A and B are shown apart, each in its own frame.
Chain A
Amino acid sequence: MRKKRVLIVEDAPYMREMMVEMLNHAKDRYEVVGFATNGKEGVEKYRELKPDLVTMDLVMEEMDGIQAIKKIKQEDPNALILVVTAMDTPENRNMAMDAGADGYLWKPFTINNLLDVLERMFGKDKSGW
């Protein structure tokens, strides 16, 4: 089976590093193909790389995660987007869902949490909610 190509949109460098480390533990399944440090860059990278999945932080400069999700979904309704955020409030969750996000991961999380949600998103239901 072909490896799933992942784009990480996240402004904190240590978060990007850690997520790469975690995905490296499942190298046979996932490949990190690129990074973006804000929403705007995320949209551009998506156009360029056409990844299978995007992990999206919500609080970022330039363009926030919600705007970026809307933009990407508008251009490619089939895009798979996983929201990764520390702001776990019902309002944030609703906003992400309304924008079209396909899954939600709450910081802090363990490697198992991350791999579980990815598995579900690429699985039968295509949902990480």
Chain B
Amino acid sequence: MIERGREEERDYFLRILDIIEETVFVIDRDLRILDLSKGCLNKIRNGVEREVAIGKGCYEGLWGLEEVCESCPVHSVFEKGEAARTERFFSLPDGTNRYFDIEWIPVFDEHGEVTRVIGDIRDITKRKEAEEKLAEIVDGSSIPTFVINNEHKITHWNTAVESLTGLKREEVVGTDRQWMAFYAEKRPVMADLIADKAPASKFKDWYGDKYKMSSLIEGAYEAIDFFPPLGEEGKWLLFTAAPLKDSEGTVIGAMETLQDITERKEAEEELKNAEEQCRTIFEHVLTPLCLIEEDDTISTVNKEFETLSGYSREEAVGKKWTEFVAPEDLEKVMNCYHNEKKEELPCCGFKFVGREGDITDVKVSIEHIPRRKIRVASLMDLTKLKREEELCAICEKLKELDDMKKNFLNAAYHELRSPLTPIVGYASLLKCDELGDKQRDYVSNIEKYAEQLKGQINRMLELARIDGGEIAMTLEDVSIPGIVNDVVKSFKPLWNDKEQMITTHVPEGIVVRGDKQKIIAIFTNLILNAIKYTNEGGRIDIMVEDRGEDIRVCVADTGIGIPEKHLPKIFERFFMVNTSLTRKSESLGLGLSIVKEYVKLHGGRIWATSEPGKGSKFFFTLSKKGEIRGR
């Protein structure tokens, strides 16, 4: 029964061997072939009967060899009971050269002993040849190229990629360290994504918008990126990864080629910069420019052209250039336009017609750009040029006059002061003698008006110095209540005489950073004016308001007032409200203009309101921070 059962078993087995495509054989411990599949005979020993092979050593029966192959793992499979695998090249009896992949599978008996081994043969000649071909292509290529298999292990790494990345093939082949050449930390390279048949979203994750599908190779992707670790200053690479497929179309790995495009990128960058530079110059040059196409239409204009013509860019583009030329000048400009002599820039003057039909005298020069078949017309606005020249001359003249005025004031000051000296001096000497009351009065008058003249001359000099920017500010913390009290007190004889009432409203402890002498001068001037222009028994109020950043001062009187039309002018130099006023009191011509300059020097402003017959209010502000407003 047992034998019979075995017979049946073997029968089954043989029938299976008959029908399967696989190339399978069974050997015993002596390596003798016990059975083999029909496929095996067909594929390896074409035309040989099964019976011939059975009973022979596998080396002879299958390959026609005389001895067992060197380093054949089959013995160790029998000993250790573990499966093994060999890839081997054979020259077959029929004269063909083949690669076979043989898998050795142990078969155990009931005692656990290996009694037989099944050999499973696969013909890998095509794959091997393809691999060799690939190696030949990759290694022989001058384009940096590497190949990985499905397990992301590098199989090929050519000399060109070695010199690009600095990584030797011994360091990387058989590893998955392809990222090391390009990135600071481990991440997939494009070949890895290809080998994984990754979806587009994965490419986007790793390459953002820098990647695209190759238009040349199916299933391939390419990208351009900058790799800082490469070379000394990093490199721009164009890299393309394509899937590698076996004869059945199964992806078995990926090949990636790299192209160093740093120089191209730099050239592109330079070109871009140059273009931008040109555009900027074109746009911002203070010369009206336009580009004229071959068909005489304008294709680009700059801002100055817009200003000159009155047309916006959109309106000007597409117009014929002849529309901008006055008919009588057309022929002249046409000649200039068609003159393509290289030696000199064709150039001529004409009447430029603007949007509203307005005429501007211009000069044009036309440059041909032969390769692009366009012309650049640059225009010069002669009217504007002339006007600017005139303005410059006027400015020059004004500056001269201003200098003259300054020099004159300085000289006048000295010359006017000198004769005053003996007048004042001798008047004082005269008073030393015995004089009648009348004579004493005369001398007092001389002294009084000499004093007035001296004041006027001093104010003139002060203004000259303010104009010359020669006024130095000595900054200190100035106590406003102290100044107001001192000034009011110093004029007590005056307001007492006129029976006027002066009240002050000054917050205690208010301090301003400024030039003490000038602040005193501001208060003195305004308070003195208020006393002068207020009749007897009138009232004067001085109010100081602390506004945080600055102070605001108001000096209000119940005096004769100032007509409204004069208010804006009272701070101007040499302005006097009217002659009768001048005769009655002293001039305020220069005084207020100096006050205004002093207030300005303290970062403040001054203004006045008035009701003629009722009184005036003078207001000014002073910055607390000692802010000096530049002239």
Contacts and interface: CB of A to CB of B under 8 A. Distances in A.
Interface residues of B, number: 19
Contacts of A113: 428
A108 B453 CA distance: 11
B428 A111 contact: yes
Interface string A90-116: 100000000000000001111111000
Nearest to B461: A89
B426 A108 contact: no
B444 interface: no
B472 A111 contact: no
Contacts of B421: 15, 18, 86, 107-109
B424 interface: yes
A76 interface: no
B429 interface: yes
Contact of B414 (A87, A108, A111): A87
Interface centre among A12, A59, A108, A110 (most CB of B within 10 A): A108
Contacts of A89: 461, 465
A18 B424 CA distance: 11
A84 to B, nearest CB: 9
Given A25-B432, A90-B472, A110 B418 contact: no
A119 interface: no
A41 B8 CA distance: 155
A108 B472 contact: no
B429 A111 contact: yes
Contacts of A22: 425, 428-429
B43 to A, nearest CB: 117
Given A18-B425, A87-B414, A90-B472, A108 B420 contact: yes
Interface in A1-60: 12, 14-15, 18, 21-22, 25, 59
A110 B414 contact: no
Contacts, number: 51
Interface residues of A, number: 19
B414 A86 contact: yes
B435 to A, nearest CB: 14
B454 to A, nearest CB: 6
B423 A18 contact: no
A59 B414 contact: yes
A113 B454 CA distance: 16
B408 to A, nearest CB: 16
A15 B420 CA distance: 11
A112 B461 CA distance: 26
Contact of A12 (B418, B426, B429, B465): B418
**Chain B interface mostly:** helix
A32 to B, nearest CB: 15
Interface string B401-432: 00000000000001001101111111111001
Interface in A67-91: 86-87, 89-90
Interface centre among B418, B421, B424, B427 (most CB of A within 10 A): B421
B450 interface: yes
A113 B617 CA distance: 38
Interface string B421-455: 11111111100100000000000000000100010
B420 A107 contact: yes
A89 B66 CA distance: 128
B417 A110 contact: no
A112 B431 CA distance: 11
Nearest to B424: A108
Contacts of B417: 86, 107-108
A18 B432 CA distance: 14
Contacts of B450: 108
Interface in B276-299: none
Contacts of A90: 472
A48 to B, nearest CB: 28
Contact of B424 (A12, A14, A110): A110
B422 A109 contact: no
Contacts of A112: 428
Nearest to A90: B472
Contact of B429 (A15, A25, A59, A86): A25
A15 to B, nearest CB: 7
Given A59-B414, A86-B414, A86-B417, A110 B428 contact: yes
A113 B424 CA distance: 11
Nearest to B428: A110
A111 B420 contact: no
A117 to B, nearest CB: 14
A112 B429 CA distance: 9
Interface string B488-523: 000000000000000000000000000000000000
16 contacts: A12-B418, A15-B422, A21-B429, A22-B429, A25-B432, A86-B414, A86-B417, A86-B421, A87-B414, A107-B417, A107-B418, A108-B421, A108-B423, A110-B427, A111-B428, A111-B429
Given A14-B422, A22-B428, A107-B421, 12 more contacts: A12-B418, A18-B422, A18-B426, A86-B421, A107-B417, A108-B425, A108-B450, A110-B425, A110-B428, A111-B425, A111-B429, A113-B428
Interface of A: 12, 14-15, 18, 21-22, 25, 59, 86-87, 89-90, 107-113
